[in-house]
Chains A and B, each alone.
Chain A
């Protein structure tokens, strides 16, 4: 057993038992962040804060929500919205955060792609981040089922039907996932469980992995410069803060991080109070009806790009294209054959690849929202083919890239 002495203070008492000074040093005051970064490096903290908002608002919603096909719709639209004091606040925070979190995730992802932050030892950061994206997608989908409105029901029908695998006709699998021939009580109950327990647990674990993956390679910087973190940290600790290329996570970097978070939160609560309706589909204010399909079924905006890759093709081809779109971002660190981990602007053809991919995904998103008719169908088809083509081209254009 370790040797303990009479504590001189509460701090000392805790320190002897939990090594809180060491913990603080390792996690905060001597965790080094490069100076050469910009506001885009604050998106991780913005995401962590948004996840916190989802968790807290979710806890309050959970106290009144009823996971029962006869009660769910009213428990949300009547009990929470009209009876519970400030129930509307939790619901609007939860709905707006669920939408905005994907906007920030996409900014976070494209920042990583632009600056090459998935290369040279940072592959696990990218892969764990992609797993988080998948977990957040599942969380968003399962949460969307819970108000049991028309869009909940029909999105549930359409998405679970994807598992029949087109011509494989695996209806048994679909019925197994639903626990019924159609989305009904068993379906609502199990998606409720997934939404409030299993997927949040997975997300918490993955956040731990994502942070852990950062420790050894450290955060990238605006020029993709390889920094000798130990040498730079030594300079900082010796007092030469001006010439050191790094700063401490706490308080130096955190103060700037929280500044961005502050601006973000003003924008966020502006949406919650004045524009929450963008996150509330009007169709979902009709109770679920298994005998009446809404005129036009579309997912929330953050799934539109992959939905549009599914839509222009026949069932089987569409499913294959959709499956491709869902997993291909995982392969980015391995399809990018260039040794350069620098911003896209200095990487020749990859610069055009980056912007083409970003614009293509915006076009896919826009086309996913409009009805699949006439010119929109054609644009959607070409945008989907462009998406697949860009990924096929990636290894070739990065292989020929000159070393910078």
Chain B
């Protein structure tokens, strides 16, 4: 049986070599499917916050995704103040308050529409609803609209950079990392 044990050894040796090769090529294949560096680098958008009008939804673009910017009226801020959870979602730039959210339904990624009379968002795909701060008011969405990473820079807002205000939102669970 000397022969057999030699063949057994050769089989195992081949198996070891092939196993290493298989794992290495799987890693290469995984990496080939990763987003390209050029895709990742094009990830910053700067918004001039003095240009927006109250209760008028503007859709900006960041990393190919729509970003909702909604400047709050004094009335809306008053309403939000009654609910601390809503207030935490707003971003203060200068003396104005803004809702800045990823305009993708947290259910399955459709774009909700804004009704400026009702001051609420409705997602036509599966009927989810959000209020004017982007907080969810009707299922199926599991949470409010996600807030993109932002940094306040005077009158400007840089999307893609993580400022202290954004980090605070992450910590207290106002938003998930989008």
Contact = CB atoms under 8 A, between A and B. Distances in A.
Interface of A: 154, 157-158, 161-162, 166-167, 169, 171, 175-182, 184, 186, 190, 290-293, 295-297, 311, 313-316, 318, 372-373, 377
21 contacts: A157-B109, A158-B125, A166-B142, A171-B178, A175-B35, A176-B35, A177-B33, A179-B34, A181-B39, A184-B64, A186-B35, A190-B33, A290-B66, A291-B59, A291-B61, A311-B126, A314-B139, A314-B140, A314-B142, A315-B140, A315-B142
A373 B125 CA distance: 11
Contacts of B13: none
Contact of A315 (B39, B59, B141): B141
Nearest to A293: B111
A293 B104 CA distance: 10
A373 B127 CA distance: 8
Contact of B65 (A182, A190, A292, A377): A182
A295 B124 contact: yes
Contacts of A296: 124-125
A169 B140 contact: no
B145 to A, nearest CB: 14
Interface of B: 30, 33-36, 39, 43, 59, 61, 63-66, 106-111, 124-127, 139-142, 176-178
A372 B127 contact: yes
Contact of A180 (B64, B141, B142): B64
Nearest to B176: A169
Contacts of A177: 33
Best-buried of A166, A182, A315 by chain B (most CB within 10 Å): A315
Contacts of A186: 35-36, 39
Contact of B64 (A158, A290, A314, A372): A290
B63 A372 contact: no
Contacts of A372: 126-127
Given A179-B34, A179-B36, A316 B109 contact: no
Question: What 4 A-B pairs have minimum CB-CB distances, sorted nearest first?
Answer: A182-B64, A293-B111, A181-B63, A293-B110
A179 B33 contact: yes
A76 to B, nearest CB: 22
A336 B79 CA distance: 58
Nearest to A185: B39
Contacts of A290: 64-66
Best-buried of A167, A186, A291, A292 by chain B (most CB within 10 Å): A291
A315 B107 contact: yes
A346 B126 CA distance: 42
A273 to B, nearest CB: 34
